[in-house]
Structure 1
Amino acid sequence: MNTVASPSSLRRYDVDALRVIVFGGLIAYHLAMAYVADWGWHVKSAYQAEWLQVPMMAINRWRMPLLFLLSGLAIGLFQPARNPWRFLKDRTVRLLLPLAFGMAVIVPVQAYCQGVSNGKVAPGFVAFLADYFSFQPWPAGAFDGSDVGITWNHLWYLPYLWVYTLLLGGLLPLLESRAGRAVMARVASLAWPSKLLLLALWIWGAMMLLARDWPQANNLFADWYQHAVFFVVFLSGYAMARGGSDPDRLARARRPLLWVAVVLGAIHVAFAMAAPDGLQGVPLATLRLSRALYTAAAMLAALAWARALLNRPWRWLPYATEAVFPWYMLHQSLIVVLVFVLAPMELGPVAEPLLVLLGTVVGCGLLHHALIRRSPVLRPLFGLKPLRTPARTPAATAPTHA
């Protein structure tokens, strides 16, 4: 039976906890980007390893689709149709204000480090900032986004999520209609093999139709392959929440889902590692199908295991949930700066990444705990809600001393 629960009863600790874990994994992933061989990134260490390509590829295939799925699921649980205009206004402020602040204050140091490393920017951060905010194109290949003069780097997730949220707002009358709710309920009631196949076929179709002409770019206006995947996955999360998908039913299938994801992942990574450049025709379609199947299986397996293991009110969860946004905004700039500073010291392939990891975690933790979360000014700039003012009571307002 499908019932509409109150917002408080729809609390899903597993969704919150999985979101924290996935965002936390971004630190490890972006740290590894500096050390994985043959993968381009903003600043690369001299200590690069080919073996990192295997785990990085295995993670790369599902990490961002899962984030958009969780975003859609969380919005569905929130029930935005109760007050869509207020919801859209709140989301606009909480996404675009941190994006603007991040592009102005946090991200430029990444562009500077990359430009100096590439030999296209002269040392001197203050002089770089003066040129950076003139919004003029830089020498070709200076840094990611140098052709337009400014970059959002890892913050690209924010404008994507904002646009998808606006599109969802426009679709709410259709989705929340009788027919829309019936379709979402039907999709949500599907057994996991059917959900896996539907997601995989959509992802595969997007790759086959769009990936060649519109490859992954993290460019909001020229990223149609990723939009086709991310937006539909985002809508799928919303449909799972509003259609009454039974998370416990999915959790009961966690072991077969895990095995399916592991087997499909091994097949896809082995195929991708062995495939020659310029693959075409049936071999390319088969490689893409293996990727789509693995992506869908990994997302569903993550949801299933999170439901089984994480759906409880962990003491650390409220604090960690609040910390996600500031840590997300800060972590990559800290990684880039630390690699840029430590690389010339030749500390070795163990000490250098450990120091980068330690510095990133300590930096994010200190900045969030000691500064951002306590500041009424900084909180909205890092996507946090305003500080709550305790209610004043007669006892609280009475003088405590003469």
Structure 2
Amino acid sequence: MTVQSNDFLIKYFIPVQKGMPERRYDLDWLRILVFGLLIFYHIGMLYVADWGFHFKSVYQSETLANFMLIVEPWRMASLWIISGIAIRFILVKVSLLRYTFVRSLRLLLPLLFGVLVIVPPQLYVEMTANVALDMSYWQFYLAMFTDNNTLFVNYQPGIWPHWDVNHLWYLRSLWEYSLAIILLLPLLNSSLITNTSNWLFKQHLGVMLLILSVPIFIIQITWEQDTNRYPLGFTFLLYGYLIGWHAHFWQQLTINLKPLLLTFAFLVIVFISFYNTVWLTLNDSTPSWLIIMGMLIYSFVRVAGVLTVLALAYRYLNKKSPSLSYFNEAVYPFYIVHQTIIIVLAYNLAPLELGPIIEPLSVIILTVLLCFICFEIIRRSDILKPLFGVRIKKNHSKTIKNMGYIFGCLLIIPIGLEIIF
């Protein structure tokens, strides 16, 4: 490789390392907490009225929606921001080839295993509850491998016919975005974007909030509600990449933590009020300007929520802890298994008629317990670890490692091609 080509790669494909910290423990902790929050959010989906889910308890509450709306706008946006920051850290340390290879194995193997093994029980419960399936789970599972089966005609596929990704859409999209960002690196690392970012992160927090909210607002009013999570996720991931370890951005969050908290609290109150007074009563006579106003408020809540949790984590969680490594490793296994556990538990507890207090508590306790049990099993098996996104730490021989890489690549090729094409 020539000197010129090396200079080109460094300039356009490798982020500037200036000011990069060795580790950002606050982002690790925030990632853990947001994924943990996701578990409770999905448990809440069983019981919140008027919100669709794969299975719903008979004990539903309209009031619960008000509490879930506090976190709903920013929970996934926070994960995408963190993912974007993480990509920037990774690209400084490894080559593009290694980045693509490791990223593909780490995301597509768990996705493949999840789609084939973890997700199907969710569909079985959903269809049993909706159309009273008269078959065993094993019969149902075998039917998923057949083409043109009318049993699944009303259930949209996510990967292959009859096979959906459900809650694992994050893994699929993260892999797509991880590849897409490579194509954008010359632009993202260009002087134009760098200078624009430097200017933006030096502005007043209110100006920053407004400018970052504009693309989110545009997406929300132009994309279908059922699919806008994909462009929204990619936009927040790009925000994360641009933020990285930018000193002015994090300084702004530190200085403005209190006004940021107050702004977010105010926006949440306005947003929940809009939901209860307008959104729940939407009809053909609702003025379009009112809906657009609601989307604008929603956009501000999304961005303000993300900035608030980033600021709180940066202020209070940037600390190393012996338990950090354990929970960091547990994130993907918990994420992959939790929704299936929640839905299967709720379905099997429903006939017991435990009531609106005992049943939710039972689901919460048993879900957390079973997630920990699953993780303890996974972390002790080098065969299971790659299937749940956990790194293998044992120093196996080079031959075994190479065989594992080759076998893993062969497994993920079909699902990778299916996602791309």
TM-score (norm 2): 0.84
Q: State yes or no: 1:274 paired with 2:287.
A: no
1:181 and 1:242 in contact (8 A); partners too? no
In 2, are the aligned partners of 1:13 and 1:313 still within 8 Å (CA)? Answer: yes
Equivalent-residue separation in structure 2 for 1:185 and 1:10 (angstroms): 22
Residues paired across the two proteins, number: 378
The residue type paired with residue 277 of structure 1 is L
The residue that corresponds to 1:52 in the other structure is: 64
Matches within 5 A, 1:47-86: 47-80=59-92, 82-86=94-98
Q: Deviations over 1:193-245 (max 9, x none)?
A: 222111211111112222xxx222xxxxxx3x333322111101100016444
Shift of 1:189: 3.4
> 2:221 aligned with 1:215, yes or no?
no
Q: Which amino acid aligns with 2:225?
A: P
CA distance change for structure 1 residues 140 and 385 in 2, over 3 Å: closer, same or farther? closer
The equivalent of 1:231 in structure 2 is 234
Per the alignment, in what secondary structure is the counterpart of residue 63 of structure 2?
helix
Alignment pair present for 1:156 and 2:159: no
Alignment of 1:194-343 (within 5 A): 194-210=207-223, 214-216=224-226, 223=227, 225-241=228-244, 243-275=246-278, 276-278=281-283, 279-343=286-350
In the aligned structure 2, how far is the partner of 1:141 from the partner of 1:268? Answer: 37
Change in CA separation of 1:11 and 1:190 when aligned onto 2, cut-off 3 Å: farther
**What is the aligned counterpart of 1:387 among 375, 385, 393?**
393
Contact 1:138–1:149, Cα closer than 8 Å, also in 2: no
1:264 is displaced (CA, Å) by 0.5
Q: Check whether the contact 1:113–1:337 (CA below 8 A) recurs between aligned residues.
A: yes
Q: Name the aligned partner's letter for residue 56 of structure 1.
A: M
Question: In the superposition, relative to structure 1, how do residues 181 and 242 fare at CA in structure 2: closer, same or farther (>3 Å)?
Answer: farther
**1: CA distance between counterparts of 2:172 and 2:274?**
33
Q: Distance in 2 between matches of 1:168 and 1:352?
A: 44
CA distance in 2, matches of 1:154, 1:99: 10
Quote the offset at 1:74 in angstroms: 1.7
Residue of structure 2 equivalent to 1:400: none
Using CA pairs under 8 Å that are at least 6 residues apart, name the structure with larger relative contact order, 1 or 2. Answer: 2
CA drift of 1:148 comes to: 3.9
Cα distance, 1:192 vs structure 2: 2.2
Does residue 192 (structure 1) correspond to residue 195 (structure 2)? The answer is no
Distance change (3 Å), C-alpha of 1:134 and 1:242: farther
CA contact under 8 A between 2:329 and 2:390: conserved in structure 1? Answer: yes
Q: What one-letter code is carried by the residue in structure 2 that aligns with 1:232? A: T
Question: In structure 2, what residue type is equivalent to 1:230?
Answer: G
CA contact (8 A) 2:120 2:141 kept: yes
Structure 1 stretch displaced more, 348-357 or 225-234: 225-234
Determine the C-alpha separation between the residues in 1 that align with 2:51 and 2:26: 33
Alignment equivalent of 2:382, drawn from 365, 368, 376: 376
Q: C-alpha deviations, 1:47-66, integer Å up to 9, x for none?
A: 11111111122221111111
Q: Residues 94 and 346 from structure 1, CA distance in 2 versus in 1: closer, same or farther, beyond 3 angstroms?
A: same
Deviations for 1:48-105, whole angstroms, at most 9, x for unmatched residues? 1111111122221111111111111122233358512211211111111110000001
Q: Which residue of 2 aligns with 1:105?
A: 117
* Structure 1: distance between partners of 2:291 and 2:63: 24
Secondary structure class of the residue paired with 2:244: helix
Residue matched to 1:395: none
Q: Which runs of 5+ in 1 are unaligned?
A: 217-222, 392-402
User: CA-to-partner distance for each residue in 1:317-351, whole Å, 9 max, x for gaps?
Assistant: 11101100000000000000000100011011111
Give the whole-Å Cα distance in 2 for the aligned partners of 1:42 and 1:48. 14
Corresponding residue for 1:362? 369
Name which of structure 1's ranges 113-122 and 32-41 shifts more when overlaid on structure 2. Answer: 113-122
For structure 1, which segment, 181-190 or 201-210, has the greater mean C-alpha deviation from structure 2 after superposition? 181-190
RMSD: 2.3
Task: Give the counterpart of 1:30 among 42, 46, 52.
Answer: 42
Q: Relative to 1, partners in 2 of residues 1:5 and 1:77: Cα closer, same or farther, differing over 3 Å?
A: same
Tell me how far 1:254 sits from its aligned partner: 1.3
Cα deviations by residue, 1:119-146 (Å, 9 ceiling, x for unpaired): 2522410100100122545446865649
Question: 1:396 maps to which residue?
Answer: none
Q: Report the Cα offset of residue 256 of structure 1.
A: 0.9
> Which residue number corresponds to residue 175 of structure 1?
188
C-alpha contact (below 8 Å) 1:72/1:237 kept by paired residues: yes
Answer with 96-105 or 143-152: which moved more: 143-152
- Structure 2 unaligned segments of length 5 or more: list them: 1-14, 398-421
Query: Residues 99 and 155 of structure 1 are in contact (CA less than 8 Å); yes or no, is this contact kept in structure 2?
Result: yes
Residues 189 and 318 of structure 1: CA distance in aligned 2, closer, same or farther (over 3 Å):
farther
Cα deviation for residue 180 of structure 1 reads 3.8
CA contact (8 A) 1:109 1:333 kept: yes
Q: What amino acid maps onto 1:150 in structure 2?
A: W
Rate the CA distance shift 1:390–1:185 in 2: closer, same or farther, 3 A: farther
Q: How many Å apart are 1:246 and its aligned residue?
A: 4.1
Identity %: 34
The corresponding residue for 1:119 is: 131
Could you tell me the TM-score, scaled by structure 1's length? 0.88
Match of 1:394 in 2: none
